[in-house]
Amino acid sequence: MHSVQEKLQVYAPATGKYLGAIEETPAELVGDFYQRGRNAFEAWSQLSVRERLQYLRKLKEYMADHMEDIARIISDDTGKVMTEALVADIMPTLDAISHICSHGEKILRRQKAGTPLLLIGKKSFIEYMPRGVVLVISPWNYPLQLAVVPMVSALAAGNSVILKPSEVTPLVGKCIEELFDKIGFPKGTVQVAHGGKEVGAAFTAGKPDYIFFTGSVRTGKIIQEAAAKELIPTTLELGGKDPMIVFADANLKRAAKGAVWAAFTNSGQVCMSAERLYIERSVYKEFMKLLRTEVAGLKMGTDENSDIGSMTFPGQIQIVREQLEEALSRGALLETGKRPEEWEEGMFLPPTVVTNVSQDMKIIQEEAFGPILPVIPFDTEEEAIALANGTEYGLNASVWSMDMTKARRVASRLVSGAVVINDAIITVANHGLPFGGAKQSGIGRYHGDAGLRIFCHEKAIIEDSGKKVNEIQWYPYEGKYPLFLKLFKSYFQRKRNWTEFGRNYLKLLKK
Ligand code: NAD
């Protein structure tokens, strides 16, 4: 007998409309989930990569056929506008599946490696062996992409998967479960556990073979601690406080448009949003004017032509409010938007640009995850780099300048998982590039070749034909020490002495 199942009640954040209820997964079922996952792993891991990719191809085609329905569910559940559901959640997911289908076999096949001369006659390889049951825990801001991309990566590599999607967007979690069901993955290969942090914690404690977590720094640390106790390997994709540096020689109109998009897309609830804007002082006034004009043109709402949707999670509004209140109480000025006490009821926050801000304020140091953009002027390249590197985060950054030498020089000095020059955020949309954070923004990388290989044990293999009876380093050691000395000296000294090397090698062989 299981306890009465809790239900997650779902309301659309943008409209308040009741959308339904999703049953939570009772903690008593954790063991059953893992048992099914382990049973399914036995067969799934034995399929060839090509066979596994057939399932992913079917998933991609099914999702492409039902794109509008999926976009509607994402938009209803998150409050983001339909364009963003399509462009920033569905498209990167489909593109990632396409990339994995095109390159998966090559990435996961046995790779030939070089063999050093001292291991003469042998062959070396690297093999990628699936790990087992992978637990994916995902957040609510891009609820499709941040769940499905690690899931399909782990599946392609031969693992079975348990997903614990965010309780803040449970309809998308349910939608993902139904999508995988429709494709007919073998029973137990893909399972979805619904619920909040207690369910997440119960599954973390259930000893998965790998944990792929995307979410806040705070939860990331809790999960890493639990995983460490069992030595479970993890990838942690955590928060960001991304800097945007605009030099005087940038295309200012483009940079202003870019800043407004990078700061306010998805109402700023993007781990890679521009959360700090540093502008070279000589163009500061001109740039602020451009910024105000761009913000004035933004439309908030729920229809297809709206630019900015609602916030997704009520708790997030409180964080944004506190940061803004602290900044205003210390002399910050509003260039656009309203003071928190003037915000309207509901989940829509106005796009807010803030000036007269100092580097030590919460609005600069802590992740806001909302539509606020603090701006600070700078005088020199060194100062801009120091300011940009001056938080605990390091997920993404952008540098805006027409001088590519300078832009590249600055980009290479930013402590960040990614940097974009004259654009923002988009590294995440190129699945061929690694994705992940520096400092508190995370541990590990996914996407790219590493995105499949992290879900495997990397296995070193050396093959010998087996024809020789003995090896030079095997027993007996008698009389070998001086020969090895000569062999290694001839090999490692500044000028290699091949005659000496050959002579001693042959002598060792005869021993
Ligand atoms: P969160 O950490 O509150 O929750 C993320 C997930 O973890 C949810 O599914 C939640 O139920 C689960 N969870 C919470 N406590 C848990 C626990 N003790 N044990 C196991 N699971 C637990 O994060 P959120 O509010 O959903 O997402 C927003 C955060 O995610 C922001 O900080 C954002 O920057 C970050 N994020 C990072 C990336 C990235 O790729 N680096 C992408 C998107 C969002």
Any residues with CB less than 8 A from the CB of 374 and at least 6 apart, and which?
Answer: 275, 276, 277, 327, 332, 354, 355, 357, 361, 363, 364
Tell me whether residue 421 is in a domain: yes
Instruction: Answer yes or no: do 488 and 376 share one domain.
Output: no
Task: Indicate if 271 belongs to the active site.
Answer: yes
Number of domains comprising the chain: 3
What's the CA gap between 220 and 239, in Å, rounded? 9
Query: Which of ligand 1's atoms lies nearest the C-alpha of 166?
Result: 9
Tell me whether residue 415 is in a domain: yes
Instruction: Answer yes or no: do 499 and 409 share one domain.
Output: no
Q: According to the model, what pLDDT value does residue 6 have?
A: 82
Q: Is the CB of 137 under 6 A from ligand 1?
A: yes
How far, in Å, from the CA of 216 to the mean position of ligand 1? Answer: 4
Query: Which of ligand 1's atoms lies nearest the C-alpha of 196?
Result: 11
Query: Which of ligand 1's atoms lies nearest the C-alpha of 313?
Result: 25
Structure tokens at 277: 């804007």
Query: Which of ligand 1's atoms lies nearest the C-alpha of 222?
Result: 18
In this structure, are strands 396-400 and 418-421 parallel, antiparallel, or unpaired? parallel
How far, in Å, from the CA of 477 to the mean position of ligand 1? Answer: 58
How far, in Å, from the CA of 235 to the mean position of ligand 1? Answer: 13
Instruction: Answer yes or no: do 225 and 303 share one domain.
Output: no
Any residues with CB less than 8 A from the CB of 502 and at least 6 apart, and which?
Answer: none
Instruction: Answer yes or no: do 407 and 453 share one domain.
Output: no
Instruction: Answer yes or no: do 178 and 274 share one domain.
Output: no
Instruction: Answer yes or no: do 191 and 247 share one domain.
Output: no
Which residues make beta-bridge pairs with 8? 22
Q: Is the CB of 219 under 6 A from ligand 1?
A: yes
Tell me whether residue 253 is in a domain: yes
Q: Is the CB of 167 under 6 A from ligand 1?
A: yes
What's the CA gap between 429 and 75, in Å, rounded? 20
Tell me whether residue 435 is in a domain: no
Q: According to the model, what pLDDT value does residue 4 have?
A: 56
Instruction: Answer yes or no: do 44 and 139 share one domain.
Output: yes
Tell me whether residue 1 is in a domain: no
Query: Which of ligand 1's atoms lies nearest the C-alpha of 164?
Result: 9
How far, in Å, from the CA of 247 to the mean position of ligand 1? Answer: 34
Mutate to test the pocket of ligand 1, among 149, 197, 236, 319 (most ligand atoms within 8 A of CB): 197
10-residue mean pLDDT series, the chain (511 residues): 71 96 96 98 98 98 98 98 97 98 98 95 98 98 98 98 98 98 97 98 98 98 98 98 98 98 98 98 98 98 95 95 98 98 96 98 98 98 98 98 98 98 97 97 97 98 96 96 97 96 96 90
How far, in Å, from the CA of 215 to the mean position of ligand 1? Answer: 2
Report pTM: 0.97
Instruction: Answer yes or no: do 211 and 273 share one domain.
Output: no
Q: Is the CB of 170 under 6 A from ligand 1?
A: no
Instruction: Answer yes or no: do 181 and 45 share one domain.
Output: yes
- Three-class secondary structure of residue 437 per DSSP: coil
Structure tokens at 116: 């050093």
* CA-closest candidate to residue 164, choices 186, 141, 134, 184: 134
Instruction: Answer yes or no: do 233 and 256 share one domain.
Output: no
Range of the domain at 194: 7-238+448-459
Tell me whether residue 186 is in a domain: yes
Instruction: Answer yes or no: do 186 and 210 share one domain.
Output: yes
Tell me whether residue 193 is in a domain: yes
Tell me whether residue 417 is in a domain: yes
Long-range contacts of 433-438 (CB under 8 A, 24+ apart): 435/237, 436/235, 436/237, 437/237, 437/238, 437/240, 437/393, 437/394, 437/395, 438/394, 438/395
Q: According to the model, what pLDDT value does residue 42 have?
A: 98
Mutate to test the pocket of ligand 1, among 141, 416, 446 (most ligand atoms within 8 A of CB): 141
Instruction: Answer yes or no: do 83 and 133 share one domain.
Output: yes
Q: Looking at 237, 280, 366, 367, which residue is catalytic?
A: 237
Q: Any idea what the CATH number is for the domain that residue 292 is in?
A: 3.40.309.10
Q: Is the CB of 238 under 6 A from ligand 1?
A: yes
